[in-house]
Amino acid sequence: MASAPVNASSVPDGYLSTNFMDLLSLSRTVQVVTGGARGIGLALAFAIAEAGGQIAIIDAAPEPHANYALLQSACDKVEYYQSVSLSLPLAFASLDYGTPSTDACECLRGHRSDVTDHGRLSNTFEDIVRDFGRVDGIITAAGICPDQPFLSRDPASVKRCLEINTLGTYYSVQLAAAQMTKQPTLPGRAGAGSVVMIASIAAHQASKDQHTSDYCMSKGGVLALTKQLGVELASHQIRVNCLSPGYIATDMTAELIEKRPLLGEIFNSEPPMKRIGDRKDLKAAAVFLLSDGSAYMTDAEMLITGGMHAGRI
């Protein structure tokens, strides 16, 4: 739906009535995070909770990371503060998530599901809509990163990488977007929903001392999908952007370093900022992209790499 055209006597001044904390709030929204049982997905689920959103995690892992119990505590806290109309920044002022919680709370659900299995994934989205009634945003963080020289790369493993990183992203976004088009827009919110895909700097350049041909191809696909869907879904008021991290310390990179310790040095020396990224470096960007703070932003890629996408010194 197009807004009324601006003329000289009616320049909109919404900036006077909308403060930036409200723009960044995810309150009342339902956000899906694939690959949220650990790593970047889990960290971004904390960011969503801290911004007031409800969360449905989809992951194939049999058990989530131990910090998932802290996420449950964080969600309990959000639920309580919202129920008594207290401000969320106050809830997290001390950054104390309380004691780890094993109780299911209303604003967090974990689903064991595989993003490559369309039938099962489709049932999972039905479960999410049954639990929460809607889907307002999705972060696609499920992914793997095999490392093997191109000439000896095993075809079955190449296929699996593309299935998880690219097709799994495609299926998840398609199911989320289909739901967004079916539901009424939340009162006071801009647009029908926001998609945030996790691509990678690997969509742009080779990584020093890593052999990740299919991974790079898979992330190039995610970047291309972002561009196409941003245009294609704009008429549905669904925004589509991606976050492309450089090296970020997670269980995935820790496992790589364990196998090949030299990679630890590379991760801390290649970025111009001379350190590996921390997952907290992605939290604000993810909330911004999911929220109305980025209401006029679609088809964009946010590169968070410590400067590495521009060059090396």
Q: Helix H segments across 103-212?
A: 118-132, 155-162, 168-182
Asked whether position 145 contacts ligand NAD by CB under 6 A, the answer is yes
Q: Among residues 216, 187, 186, 185, which one has the least CA distance to residue 203? A: 216
Nearer to ligand NAD by C-beta: 136 or 214?
214
Name which of 88 and 216 has its Cβ closer to ligand NAD: 216
CA nearest 52: which of 24, 16, 33, 73?
A: 24
How far is residue 285's CA from residue 283's CA, in Å, rounded to a whole number? 6
Query: Which residue stretch of 11-19, 76-84, 108-116, 296-304 sits at the interface with ligand NAD (rule: CB under 6 A)?
Result: 108-116
Comparing CA positions, the residue from 169, 64, 155 lying closest to residue 116 is: 169
Selected range binding ligand NAD among 96-104, 148-156, 241-249, 284-292, rule: CB under 6 A? 241-249
**Phi, then psi, of 195 in degrees rounded to 5:** -110, 130
The footprint of ligand NAD on this chain (CB under 6 A) covers a number of residues equal to 30
- Determine which residue in the list 142, 175, 177, 286 makes contact with ligand NAD, applying CB under 6 A: 142
Give the footprint of ligand NAD on residues 16-35 (CB under 6 A).
34-35
Q: Is 166 in the site for ligand NAD (CB under 6 A)?
A: no
Nearer to ligand NAD, 245 or 306 (CB): 245
Count of other CB atoms within 10 angstroms of residue 156: 8
245 binds ligand NAD (CB under 6 A): yes
Backbone angles phi, psi at 302, to 5 degrees: -100, 115
Interface segment toward ligand NAD; rule CB under 6 A; list 37-45, 66-74, 130-138, 177-185: 37-45
150/276 Cα distance (integer angstroms): 26
143 binds ligand NAD (CB under 6 A): yes
Beta carbon nearer to ligand NAD, 186 or 300: 300
Q: Quickly list H helices, 147-250.
A: 155-162, 168-182, 213-232
For residue 175, state whether it binds ligand NAD (rule: CB under 6 A): no
For position 39 contacting ligand NAD by CB under 6 A, the verdict is: yes
For ligand NAD, the binding residue among 32, 70, 78, 115 (CB under 6 A) is 115
Strand-pairing partners, residue 194, are 137, 239
Residue selected from 72, 73, 101, 116 as contacting ligand NAD according to rule CB under 6 A:
116
What minimum distance in Å lies between the beta carbon of 111 and ligand NAD? 9
Q: Quote the CA–CA distance of 268 and 30 in Å, as a whole number.
A: 36
In the bound state with ligand NAD, the residue whose beta carbon lies nearer, of 88 and 302, is: 302
In terms of CB distance, is 37 or 107 closer to ligand NAD? 37
Gyration radius of the chain's alpha carbons: 20
Helix, strand or coil, per DSSP, at residue 304: strand
Rule CB under 6 A: say whether 308 interacts with ligand NAD.
Answer: no
Our finding on whether 270 is near ligand NAD (CB under 6 A) is: no
Give the C-alpha separation, 118 to 42, whole Å. 22
Residue of 38, 77, 239, 283 that binds ligand NAD (CB under 6 A) = 38
Edge-to-edge strand list for the sheet holding 301-304: 108-112, 54-59, 30-34, 137-140, 193-198, 238-245, 301-304
* Contact call for residue 305 and ligand NAD (CB under 6 A): no
Give yes or no for residue 167 binding ligand NAD (CB under 6 A): no
Footprint on this chain of ligand NAD (rule: CB under 6 A) = 34-35, 37-41, 59-61, 114-116, 141-145, 164-165, 168, 198, 200, 245, 247-248, 250-253
